[in-house]
């Protein structure tokens, strides 16, 4: 079955994914760039990631992005997001354990 996008995704699963991505980027920026607010580069990445999640063709049925066969992020953003996730993921278990565990199970089940 091929998914089609008719309007931006606003369902609860996508909203949670957006929340997790925002938290990871904010954590990464705070710990690596030593700022209380997001730097311009991290703000740009956050905006881009939220946009891509809003436009995901699989919507509420999406798996974790790393398991998707369609890479909708531009190469630059994909590499930046990979760095953010590699750094932030272990910290997420400390700061947001519920999100982390749920994300692991969502990624494996899809």
What is the C-alpha end-to-end distance of the chain, expressed in Å? 15
Angle at 106 between CA 83 and CA 88, to 5 degrees: 25
pTM of structure:
0.80
* Residue, of 30 and 71, whose pLDDT is higher: 30
Question: Residue 24 has which token pair?
Answer: 């990871």
Provide the pLDDT for residue 64: 75
Q: Which pLDDT tens digit goes with each residue over 63-94? A: 777 777 888 899 999 999 999 999 998 888 88
CB atoms < 10 A from the CB of 97, how many? 10
> Helices 75-95 and 12-32, interaxial angle, to 10°?
90
Question: Residue 33 has which token pair?
Answer: 């760039």
């Amino acid at each position: 079955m091929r998914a089609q996008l008719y309007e931006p995704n606003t369902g609860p699963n996508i909203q949670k994914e957006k929340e997790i991505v925002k938290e990871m980027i904010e954590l990464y920026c705070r710990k690596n760039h030593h700022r209380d607010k997001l730097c311009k580069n991290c703000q740009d990445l956050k905006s881009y990631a939220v946009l891509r999640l809003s436009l995901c063709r699989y919507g509420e049925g999406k798996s974790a992005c790393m398991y998707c066969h369609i890479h909708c992020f531009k190469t630059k953003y994909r590499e930046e997001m990979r760095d953010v996730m590699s750094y932030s993921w272990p910290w997420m278990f400390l700061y947001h354990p519920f999100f982390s565990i749920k994300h692991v199970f969502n990624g494996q089940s899809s």
